[in-house]
Amino acid sequence: MNLKKWLTTAISVLVVVFPIVITFLMIAEPALARTRSDRHLKQNIADVDVDQVLASLL
């Protein structure tokens, strides 16, 4: 009987938590991808600046 209670609790928790997690990921993933690509672009710009400075010194 105790096992059935645990299974019911676990299933109901999953039914409640799973849609919340999916919704959060759908909202957060584009924002995370955007900051990741922005960081990558900034890193590329920084690399170009360093290369230009080194070229001007030589």
In the DSSP assignment, the letter for residue 58 is: -
**How large a percentage of the chain has pLDDT more than 70?**
55
Q: Which two tokens stand for residue 7?
A: 């299974």
* Residue 9, pLDDT above cutoff 90: yes
Q: Please, what's the b/e burial string for 21-54 (b: 16 or more CB within 10 A of its CB; e: otherwise)?
A: eeeeeeeeeeeeeeeeeeeeeeeeeeeeeeeeee
DSSP label at residue 53: H
pLDDT per residue over 22-55, tens digit each?
Answer: 888 887 777 766 666 666 666 666 566 666 666 7
DSSP 1: -
pTM, rounded to two decimals: 0.43
SS3 39: helix
Residue 15: pLDDT over 70: yes
